Amino acid sequence: MTKTVEKTDALDLERKFSKIKPLLKSYEASVEASRCLFCYDAPCINACPTSIDIPMFIRQIMSRNVEGSAKTIFTQNILGKSCGQVCPTEVLCEGACVYNAMNEKPIEIGRLQAFATDYAIKKNIRFFSKGKKTDKKIAVIGGGPGGLACAHELTRLGHEVTVFESAPNAGGLNTYGVAPYKYSNKESQEEINYISQIGFEIKTNHKIDSKSLSELEKKYDAIFLSIGLGKSNKLNIPGENLKGVYGASEFIHELREKEQKITVGKNIIVIGAGNTAIDATVETSKLGANVTVVYRRTEKEQRAYYFEVDLAKVHSARFMYLTTPIEILGKEKVEGLKCIKNNLKFEPIKGSEFVIPCDMIISAVGQEKMVDFYKNISGLKIDSGKVIVNKDFQTSNLKYFAGGDCVNGGKEVVNAVSHGRDAARGIDRFLMEKVSS
Amino acid sequence: MPNLESNFAGIKSPNPFWLASAPPTNTGYQVMNAFKAGWGGAVWKTLGQPIVNVSSRYGALSYKSTRMMGLNNIELITDRSLEVNLKEMKEVKEKFPNHALIASMMFEKKEEWHDCIKRCEDIGVDGFELNYGCPHGMCERGMGSAVGQNPDVCEKITSWVTEKATKPVIVKLTPNISDITKPALAAQRGGANAVSLINTINSVTGINLDTMDPNPTVSGLSTHGGYCGPAVKPIALNMVSELTNHPDFKLPISGIGGVETWQDAVEFFLMGASTVQVCTAVMHYGFRIVTDLIEGTSGYLDSHKMHSVGELCGITAKKLKKWEELDLNYKVIAHIDPEKCIGCQLCYIACEDGAHQSISVIPGQRVPMIKEDHCVGCNLCSLVCPVDTCISMVKIETGKSKITWKDHPANPLAKVKAF
Ligand SMILES: Cc1cc2nc3c(=O)[nH]c(=O)nc-3n(C[C@H](O)[C@H](O)[C@H](O)COP(=O)(O)OP(=O)(O)OC[C@H]3O[C@@H](n4cnc5c(N)ncnc54)[C@H](O)[C@@H]3O)c2cc1C
Ligand SMILES: Cc1cc2nc3c(=O)[nH]c(=O)nc-3n(C[C@H](O)[C@H](O)[C@H](O)COP(=O)(O)O)c2cc1C
Ligand code: SF4
Ligand code: SF4
Ligand code: SF4
């Protein structure tokens, strides 16, 4: 009896978290591909942070050269599969597609990209191999999208690369962050296996600290930092330590780790209105909660993309704007959130306090930067917690290069991939110029 | 409401939209359904000596996601007995006395032609169509296009038919020939009352790249087939106009080849056809498309204050001249509407790589610019532009009077005027 219940629960969970952009079938892909106009100097390419030759890969799908299409994509972006599924295409390539100017649906570039890359990954068709050996050794700290892209490109260039990852699985936020209805753990691991076959090592459960860092400095010719961001920011209001109060990235980490097999409160308040807040809102709604989003600013100012907010609304989330949380109420466990209305200058409106009862609070007001870690690196310059790099992604400590969220303060997977790829080329120039001079 | 009733060389029908002799007219069941749907006439699937068909039979050309831009077939004439065909034709004629029923025929010997003519007239057909067109199979046996390609044979066989038939005779022409007027004039000399064209064009639609077998495959082999459908319309329109414009050719024309919409039909009328016949479009979408043919054509006549299809007949054919009669001082140049432009820059790359380097792009600006003093007015950009009416070809006043190649100083053969 219990077994069947579990089975239906699992099925139910699978259905609820099914892909919002499902993989295209071969016929769908060729129909969609044939709509592409094959623009010259296509605006979609310029809107892609990794500059994938989009009209070309789409044309290859149209001519049923799916393998060639995957190669076109991977040549620019080795994480083309996850990007195809998690990129906010509405504000990137698809947002730039000329069809928008005709008020027609833009080409589904992301889904076509996922289609072609999935084909190559499933069939394990490999396009790249290890370059001619250079005898240079490089350590990559952080096995997220930025680190993986860098390691792959460095290996292509002939260097010996080891990736150090503190988590039990690599992938960074692709594995422990992005919404599961975009990318699954299984897909993330398949992608990593595919990429790493080129011949670099990934050491998981390897957190680098001050001690291991000095060892790395001795052993390696260069070090690439792609450690992302830190813990969720604190709200700094009373009651934050009560049971049932979570930071968004920690909550989502657990959700992804347990593949959504977690229980959540019935009435949840999410504080903040960035993309992470909205992800947490949709995820907990899918798990059965009534979610209220509390945000200090106005609807217009929220940082989350409009299409993500729409998704939250489809999941019946309630939004309260111009509202400041002032205290979390409860004895041991959270029982409610005391708020006050504020005006456009964030000044509290006297007498407007009210309490929203709840049994869980998720705070999504940004993430800390890894400042403590950076203290271990001599001469490393940072600016508001972001590592400063030059156009080759080299830091002020010339042995160190950096890219991804730890440099840009938190953008998209595709930005981290572009950084990682270009940093690898920067590292190569740096090390090889030294050799030749 | 214009009157669509048609009298084609004495064959009357409620409208000028006929089914061509092909699979849609295989059986009485189909033809009756077609008449119910609104078709004005039907040319029965070609009658002849018994044959056997192969499997598979059709191949198609698809373009991007558009299916069946062109269709080809390696099917022969009817594979049912003459008795069965005649019995069903009789039933059709009894049920639909006012619709045109035409017997298509293809035989070798004079007696065979005469015998079939008599039996068809006995059951009340309205006319005959002589199939001189099939480019596959039957021509290997001296019939079909083997007749249509040889004007003398064409004339002789036509006269065999016309000496016997009391009903109007249409000769169906093959396009697999370099000068379509030759067999048409031969048919006229042979006493035909009308011609219809085009039959299908020699073709191979494609190859299965896995097996390297040609399409359509018959156990790994194939034979060249007859091509038809939307892709062949331009060829058919030209051939129809050549007959319309030939000073010695006087017969009415039934236009065939790629008719699918009312616009296609009107184009055939403007080129000089007075009825049209349809095959592929019906094989693709069924008989119901006739509604659009009827309503669209009526609406077009209304909007031009015309009362019958006859008024359209040949208007545009007259505008087709020899190249040397065209005005070399007439000039258009391309103009881009920046409001409509979506910035795909297809016009730029087409003109740059494929034409006359007359369009420039300015960095940071998506709307291209026409180099007006370079543009030769070839139309290419306006043809590739995906936005309707975004690029228009604008007439430029050159201030020069008309000059044709016949009179042009660059022409060594011109009767050069004082310059
Ligand atoms: C909730 C959430 C949802 C998101 N959704 C999307 C989305 O839908 N689409 C999108 O494009 N982007 C999304 N993003 C952003 C995207 O995930 C990041 O921009 C991207 O993952 C950054 O890659 P990275 O390699 O720089 O960092 P990360 O992905 O954060 O990877 C850093 C890695 O470094 C490891 N690490 C850290 N410190 C150490 C150490 N000391 N030793 C060893 N390893 C260490 C971490 O464990 C981690 O694996 C989302 C982000 C979040 C938080
Ligand atoms: C499968 C098939 C069989 C045909 N059989 C005949 C035939 O038996 N007799 C004939 O005169 N034309 C035959 N045709 C030619 C058509 O009547 C018509 O001339 C040609 O298809 C062009 O018209 P369309 O473009 O509307 O198809 C056949 C065409 C097809 C596709
Ligand atoms: S902008 Fe749109 S139509 Fe043009 S190439 Fe890119 S995807 Fe294709
Ligand atoms: S082809 Fe048309 S839409 Fe495209 S850039 Fe040229 S003018 Fe603009
Ligand atoms: S009309 Fe021809 S020559 Fe002129 S701009 Fe267009 S493509 Fe170029």
Distance A33 CA to ligand 4 centre (A): 20
- State ipTM: 0.82
> pLDDT at position A190, please?
97
| Ligand 5, residues at Cβ distance < 6 Å | B 334, 351, 355-356, 358-359, 370, 375-381
Ligand 4 near B341 CB (within 6 A): yes
**How confident is the prediction for chain B on average, in pLDDT?**
95
Q: Kindly state the average pLDDT of the residues B286-294.
A: 97
Pick the CATH number of A22-122 from 1.20.58.390, 1.10.1060.10, 3.65.10.10, 3.30.830.10: 1.10.1060.10
Is A245-363 the same fold as A137-230+368-436? yes
- Residue B145 pLDDT level (bands cut at 50, 70, 90): confident
User: Class of the A245-363 domain?
Assistant: alpha beta
> pLDDT at position A1, please?
35
**In angstroms, rounded to a whole number, what is the distance separating the alpha carbons of residues A413 and A87?**
7
Task: List the one residue out of B205, B300, B313 whose CA is nearest residue B261.
Answer: B300
Q: Kindly state the average pLDDT of the residues B268-283.
A: 98
List, in order, residues 6 or more apart from B122 with CB less than 8 Å away.
Answer: none
The CATH architecture assigned to B6-319 reads Alpha-Beta Barrel (3.20)
Closest CB to A39 among B64, B344, B387: B344
Calculate helix-pair angle for A248-257, A275-286, nearest 10 degrees. Answer: 50
Give the tens place of pLDDT for each residue, A239-268: 999 999 999 999 999 999 999 999 999 999
pTM, two decimal places: 0.89
Residue of B nearest to A101 (CA): B342
Task: List the one residue out of B134, B141, B128 whose CA is nearest residue B173.
Answer: B134
Whether A388 and A408 have beta carbons less than 8 Å apart is answered as no
Q: Kindly state the average pLDDT of the residues B201-227.
A: 95
Indicate if B351 belongs to the active site. no
Whether A224 and A147 have beta carbons less than 8 Å apart is answered as yes
Ligand 3 near A293 CB (within 6 A): no
Question: Does residue A204 sit at the B interface (CB-CB below 8 Å)?
Answer: no
Residue of A nearest to B351 (CA): A40
Domain ranges of chain B: 6-319, 325-418
Task: List the one residue out of A420, A421, A415, A423 whose CA is nearest residue A393.
Answer: A423
| B387/A102 Cβ within 8 A | yes
The CATH architecture assigned to A137-230+368-436 reads 3-Layer(bba) Sandwich (3.50)
Tell me: pLDDT of A4 over 80. no
Distance A176 CA to ligand 1 centre (A): 8
Give the tens place of pLDDT for each residue, B157-199: 999 999 999 999 999 999 999 999 999 999 999 999 999 999 9
Domain ranges of chain A: 22-122, 137-230+368-436, 245-363
Give the tens place of pLDDT for each residue, A68-111: 999 999 999 999 999 999 999 999 999 999 999 999 999 999 99
| A30/B342 Cβ within 8 A | no
> pLDDT at position B142, please?
75
Helix, coil or strand: residue B104: strand
Question: Does residue A43 sit at the B interface (CB-CB below 8 Å)?
Answer: yes
Ligand 3 near A39 CB (within 6 A): yes
Task: List the one residue out of A103, A104, A7, A109 whose CA is nearest residue A50.
Answer: A109
**How confident is the prediction for chain A on average, in pLDDT?**
95
Tell me: pLDDT of A2 over 70. no
Question: Does residue A26 sit at the B interface (CB-CB below 8 Å)?
Answer: no
- Residue A176 pLDDT level (bands cut at 50, 70, 90): very high
The string of DSSP codes covering B260-309 is: -SHHHHHHHHHTTEEEEEESHHHHHH-GGGHHHHHHHHHHHHHHTT--BG
Ligand 4 pocket test: which of B365, B390, B394 has the largest number of ligand atoms within 8 Å of its C-beta? B390
The CATH architecture assigned to B325-418 reads 2-Layer Sandwich (3.30)
What are B399's two structure tokens?
Answer: 């201030």
Distance A145 CA to ligand 1 centre (A): 7
Ligand 2 near B256 CB (within 6 A): yes
The radius of gyration computed from the CA coordinates of chain B, to the nearest angstrom, equals 24
List, in order, residues 6 or more apart from A290 with CB less than 8 Å away.
Answer: A266, A267, A268, A316, A318
| B366/A40 Cβ within 8 A | no
**In angstroms, rounded to a whole number, what is the distance separating the alpha carbons of residues A180 and A18?**
8
